[in-house]
Structure 1
Amino acid sequence: MKKTVFALFMLINSGISAQYEMKPAEGYTHDIGLVVAMLEDLKNRITAEVKDLSQSETDFLFDEKANSIGSLLMHLVATEAYYQIETLEGRKLTEEEEKRWGIGGELNEESKKKLQEKPIKHYLNLWDEVRQKTLAGLKTKDDTWFASEIDEGLNYHWVWYHVMEHQANHMGQIALVKNRLLK
């Protein structure tokens, strides 16, 4: 047991761990670049987990209270689109945007019915589209903006941290659903 723990410790602390170093993404100010790197890491990890799912796996519900992987992905896309529009564009969603993203914003009975029979690529392509706008918008901002208050006790950094936290949370749910897929 002690040898196994020591070997694991050595592996974690070896040169191999350098691949897990978090550095700011190029083209962004320092703090924004760190969040961009983290957002991209989460998106890449989620994409790697789901990119090869079949239609039945994308739509799978393991019980009546669960959400499908497709609906969870749409929720991530809609949440990012909402915060992107609100913070980077400084406006509210239009009626058309509300129609497009609203179904994914809520994980409820309606979304469970409507977010079916779309291939995994549909959700991943939407996420790519939204992410490109997020990255372009964040590139126009700086760390002074990032740290500035939106409301008392709320700044842009926290909002984008929340988007990242949200994605990490649902990554766990996606893993749970994937683990429950019928073999």
Structure 2
Amino acid sequence: MNLDKLYMIDQVPGFSNQISRLVSMMNYSRWTTLESVKGLSTEQLDFLLDSDSNSIGALLKHIMAVEYAYYLNTIEKRELSEEERQEWGPALELGERGRREIKNNPLEYYIELMNEIREKTLKAFSELTDEWLDEYELEPHLGNSPVNNYFKWFHVFEDEINHRGQIRIIRKRIGNG
């Protein structure tokens, strides 16, 4: 991630024009997410505002799970396998299962996993053309509306931005924000 151009939605070396713009937005979203969790302890990552809330750690893993699921959907053209559902289900679902299963991980665990998934995404993006962004399919969960790859990847980073807002609220409540 080039921090010199952090505030520019611009050409990123190695990517087509429109994919570069998407990558620029994804990079900014990720940078601000990482800044919002900098220095947090495992205890802080596991903190729950109440019995129905999600922890910062669970939200971080959810961000990763969404990117991974959309990677599979748009790049590999498949859904999560049963094994992948076992691994990523708690993060995709959040709620009770997430509270129960996503905890006791240091910040480095989440950052390493985020970087690993993003590297895979960026490698795939570097091999695609702008026309790929326009490819679409009918989405049964959205009333069989057409949904293109551009929208799917916009959703990946807008979901991250949404959860980063939650992370900032939680961080303020634990007194380290």
Question: Normalising to structure 2: TM-score of the pair?
Answer: 0.88
Q: Which amino acid aligns with 2:161?
A: A
Which residue identity is paired with 2:81? T
Moved over 6 A (4+): none
Q: Give the drift of 1:182.
A: 4.4
Matches within 5 A, 1:68-87: 68-87=55-74
The partner residue of 2:44 within 44, 57, 60 is 57
Q: Do residues 103 (structure 1) and 90 (structure 2) align?
A: yes
For 1:136, the equivalent position in structure 2 comes to: 123
How big is the alpha-carbon RMSD for the aligned residues of Structure 1 and Structure 2?
A: 1.5
Q: Distance in 2 between matches of 1:99 and 1:90?
A: 19
Q: How many Å apart are 1:94 and its aligned residue?
A: 1.8
Name the larger-Rg structure.
1
Question: What TM-score do you get using the length of structure 1 for normalisation?
Answer: 0.85
For 1:67 and 1:24, how far apart are their aligned partners in 2?
A: 36
Partner of residue 90, structure 1:
77
Q: Which amino acid aligns with 2:44?
A: E
Of 128, 150, 155, the match for 2:148: 155
For the 8 Å contact 1:51–1:121, the answer to whether it is kept is no
Which whole-Å CA distance do the structure 1 matches of 2:88 and 2:20 have between them? Answer: 26
Counterpart amino acid of residue 52 in structure 1: G
2-structure distance, mates of 1:67, 1:121: 19
Q: Give structure 1 stretches of 5+ with no counterpart.
A: 1-17
Q: Which structure 2 residue ranges, 5 or more long, are not aligned? A: 139-144
Seq. identity, %: 34
